[in-house]
Amino acid sequence: MRIISYNVNGIRAAIKKGFLDWLQTNPADIICIQETKALKEDVDHKLFNDLGYHDYWFSAQKKGYSGVAVFTKIKPDNVEYGNGHGPSDDEGRVIQLDFGDIRLINAYFPSGTSGDERQDFKYKWLDEFYKWINTLKKKYPKLILPGDYNIAHNEIDIHDPKGNKNSSGFLPDERAWMTKFLDSGWIDTFRTIHPEPHRYSWWSQRFPSVRLNNKGWRIDYINVTEPLKSRIKDAEIYPDVKHSDHCPVYLELNSK
C-alpha cells in the first residue's frame, strides 16, 4: 500500500500546474488531498477516474475553502464523511476510508496564522480530535493518519526554530500536543527512516527564494498506530513536486 498526503492549496490551481500529469506517473495507490477549495462538481472528476482512481470528496460548506479528497486505486470497503464534530465537518476537514482491517483518516488540521480567533479554534479542534481519534483507536487498532497537521513538531522540523518560536504552527502548546499525540501510540513514519535535518514539506509563498533556499517547515505527515509500525517499508518527502506551497509526503507499507 503506497500512500501520499498532499496539501494542493486548491485542486483546480494544482491541475493547471500539471497535477494530473504527475498522477499519470502513478506516484501512489492512495492520494490523500487537503485544501481542495472546491466541491466535487466544480472539477471534472472523470479525469481522475480515467487514471484508474476512485474519488471521494468532503468539502467545506464555505465555497473555495478547506476540503479534503481521496483518490484511490484500491476501492475502499467503506467511506465515512466527517467525524461527527460539527465545526470540523462544516469545514470539510476529515474523511475516513476502510481498507480491510485498516482505517485511513485523511485530515486537514486548522491553521491559526490568521489571528487569535482561529488559533483558539485550532486548540479546541486539536483537543476534540485527540479525544475522538484515541477512542476510535480502540475500535480500529490499525489507523493511518495522513494530513496537513499545520504543526512543526521539533526544531529539526523547521528551518528557523528561534525566529519562529512565536509563530502559529510552532507554538509550545501546539508542539506539546504533537508530543502527547505521538506518545499515545502513534508513529511518525518519516522519522523512523529519516533522522536527518532540512527535510521540509511547506515553504512560504511570500518570497520565492524561500523554497529555492529550502527555508521550510515539515508540517505534513502520514502517521500510523503502533500495530502498523513493523509494516513501514519506506517514507519520503518530494520537494521537487511543485503544484502547491506544500509538497507530497509518502509512505509505503508492506502487506503483512
- Set 55, 148, 188, 245: catalytic member: 148
CA gyration radius, the chain: 17
| DSSP symbol at 246 | B
Q: CA dihedral in degrees (100, 104, 14, 171; nearest 10)? A: -170
Which run of H or E residues covers position 93? none
Closest-CA residue to 72 (of 144, 178, 131, 136):
144
* Cα distance between residue 132 and residue 230, in whole Å: 25
Instruction: Using CB atoms within 10 Å of the CB of residue 139, give its burial: 0 to 12 exposed, 13 to 18 middle, 19+ buried.
Output: exposed
148 is an active site residue: yes
Task: List the catalytic residues.
Answer: 148
